[in-house]
Amino acid sequence: MQPIGVIKFVDPVSMERLKTMHTGSLLTRLQNLRSLDIDFEHSDWDENELKHNMATGQIVFKETELWKTAFSEVKELLAQREHIPRGSKEKRREAAKNKHR
C-alpha cells in the first residue's frame, strides 16, 4: 500500500474504462502519471518492491511502454473533452450550468 500523498505506482486502466471516467478523474490520473519516477535509478525503490509491482502489472516508471501508453491515452481523451477556461468559481459554475441546459 502506498503512503498517503506519495504516488509510487498507477494501476493500468483500459481505454474503454478511461472513456467512462469523469474529466476530473482523468486529470488526477494524468497528475499521478506525471508524478512517477523516471526510472529505477532515479527512485527510492528496492529490488523486492520493484519485482512485486512489476509482476502485478503496475505502472511504476516513466521510461516504460506502459507509462507512455497510459499517458498518451489520457492526453488523447482530455483533448476531446470540452475545456472551460479558468476564471472565478462563479463563472465556472455558470458555464457548467449552461452546458447542461
**Among positive and negative, which fits the CA dihedral 74, 78, 81, 85?**
positive
Domain residue spans of the chain: 15-99
pLDDT tens figures, 25-52: 999 999 999 988 877 776 677 777 766 6
The mean of the pLDDT values for the chain is 82
Residue 84 clears pLDDT 70, i.e. is over it: no
Amino acid 101: pLDDT: 66
